[in-house]
A and B are shown apart, each in its own frame.
Chain A
Amino acid sequence: MALIETKGLTYTYPGTSKPSIHDVSIKIEKGEFVLITGPSGCGKTTLCRCFNGLVPHFYQGEIKGEITVAGINTLDQHTYEIAKHVGLVFQNPENQLFALSIEKDVAFGLENMGTAREEMRKKVDWALHQTGIYDIRERSPHEISGGQQQRVAIASVLAMEPEIIVLDEPTSFLDPLSAEKIFDVIYKLNKEQGITVVLVEHRLDLTAKYTNHLIVMDQGTVRLEGDPRDILSNEETRRIGVGIPKATLLYQMLKKENCNLGNKTPLGSEELADQILEELKGD
């Protein structure tokens, strides 16, 4: 059974008449690194809110169809039950932080689960180190920059070591190198510990290389889904308004001019550079 599965999922926020997601049927297997992308307002964030039960339990509104996450039917379970399996990092970190110190914010979820003090200390320190905020752990989360706040939000979720991590544009306020470091940490958790990752991102230049399952949404529906190499080569993806990574785009432009670069669509600069070097190497 898939770790996350939806069938004909349709949801409408209260006070609106048009569904934000419409007839969404997807399957996410354990250990996948899923990337969800699509134009602003396409329903990405709403779909993420379904994965941890915020939709419909917190947002109310009208929901139809089926959804199971880690074997739980999220429609009739409390969010705190779902939260044991799914950690969600929100788009705006200010919505997520509330404690007096960064360290306390990161420890909050573990405290609630009744984690032993010793173990909690270890997990919190580990998460603070992974996200590069150990040195500022005693400061208030409200006096640090937006980028630092995003690190705190990510650390809070990492500390819980959930089976599934859902991240909604988690590094938008961070500088690119810091963002890349955070994505590397998440990718490592995915590869080494088999944690399933669902990442919502517009910036495929930064993130396409990590994914093995790409979902493109538009106007509340899933338009394309599957192997990122196929989807990024699909003309439809570009028409929807997805920003194809520049390396992928350059490969397509060179292929159109009949360059011999093999048939593997590159997801990043490294793959493309290798393909070009292969073609141009002295023989």
Chain B
Amino acid sequence: MIEVEGIYYSYPSKVEALRGVSLNIKDGEFVAIMGQNGAGKSTLVKHFNGLLKPSVGTVTVDGIKTVKSSVATLARNVGFVFQNPDHQLFSETVEEEIGFALKNFGFDVKVIEERITWSLELLSLSQYRKTSPFLLSGGERKRVALASVLACDPKMLVLDEPTIGQDYEQKEKLRQFIMQLQSQGKTVIAVTHDVEFVAECNPRVVLMKEGKIVADGQGHQILTDPAMLEAASIVLPQIAQVFTKLSALGLSKDIINIDEAKRVLLKAMEKHKR
């Protein structure tokens, strides 16, 4: 459980990135944090593993105030995958990269071996086991960073822009994978701009603007409100765009799912024929 109470945060450059944010995330929730560049999304999630400490207010993770604990302690519970994988990768082979944190946590060699194999398979990286991460494509490096965090089996997972550079199939795998993690009771928090990805997952959406939370609700409620999204520099998912343009027909408004869209439109067309 993550409890954020009235936090403010200013960078040393005096830029006030968070201006009074309160938020509770329960165990097993999947939350997408959305908003324009500079809205404070990355700054907020960096508070969850203690990388940043609030100037004012408190962040409590599993009952522990982050102010009082180190990143090293929090990192066992909260795995963090950065936006740019190059800020995270440094080893000579993919295998070493994934084993690094596990070694630091003092896991048994056999366990480390198993976890490496498991996470490589999960993210379709097995053929690159002995390759340098820096010879891989941008999308593949991103998956190596994710694999190295997953291998540690954290209780909560923070993903900063997980779909950047990923093709459709990888995104679909990521979606199924997040669902699987959730069914195991793990918390997944994704900072993302990818409206189509969020529309397919329909998680809880927290919308940020200028260091504050401006909306909080289920995906199909938030992603179908054109005025609110535009203010946050987000475009509607394509299905919602279609229904916004069809508003004169008086069809249901909060549709982001393609199967539901098909059902509603078929019904409308049948009715029209009669």
Contact = CB atoms under 8 A, between A and B. Distances in A.
A253 B245 CA distance: 19
A257 interface: yes
Given A174-B193, A176-B234, A202 B167 contact: yes
Interface in B155-174: 161, 164-171
Nearest to B142: A40
A28 interface: no
B contact face: mostly helix, strand, loop, or mixed? helix
Contacts of B161: 173
Interface stretch (B91-99, B102-110, B262-270): B262-270
B238 A205 contact: yes
Given A92-B86, A173-B83, A259-B266, A247 B238 contact: yes
A237 to B, nearest CB: 10
The interface size bin for chain A is 35 or more
Nearest to B138: A91
B237 interface: yes
A268 B233 CA distance: 19
Interface string B7-36: 000000100000000000000000000011
A176 B242 contact: no
Interface stretch (A73-81, A96-104, A189-197, A274-282): A274-282
A194 to B, nearest CB: 28
Of the candidates B195, B230, B233, the one having the most CB atoms from chain A within 10 angstroms of its own CB is B233
29 contacts: A39-B167, A39-B168, A40-B139, A40-B167, A41-B137, A92-B138, A145-B37, A146-B84, A169-B165, A175-B36, A175-B37, A175-B193, A175-B233, A176-B233, A176-B235, A178-B37, A242-B168, A243-B171, A243-B196, A246-B237, A246-B258, A247-B239, A250-B239, A250-B258, A250-B262, A268-B238, A273-B241, A273-B246, A280-B272
Interface of A: 38-41, 45, 91-92, 94, 143, 145-148, 169, 172-180, 202-203, 205-206, 241-243, 245-247, 249-250, 253-254, 257, 259, 268-270, 272-274, 276-277, 279-280
Given A40-B165, A250-B261, A257-B266, 18 more contacts: A39-B167, A39-B168, A39-B170, A45-B137, A92-B86, A175-B193, A177-B36, A177-B230, A179-B193, A205-B196, A242-B168, A243-B171, A245-B238, A253-B262, A257-B262, A270-B241, A279-B272, A280-B249
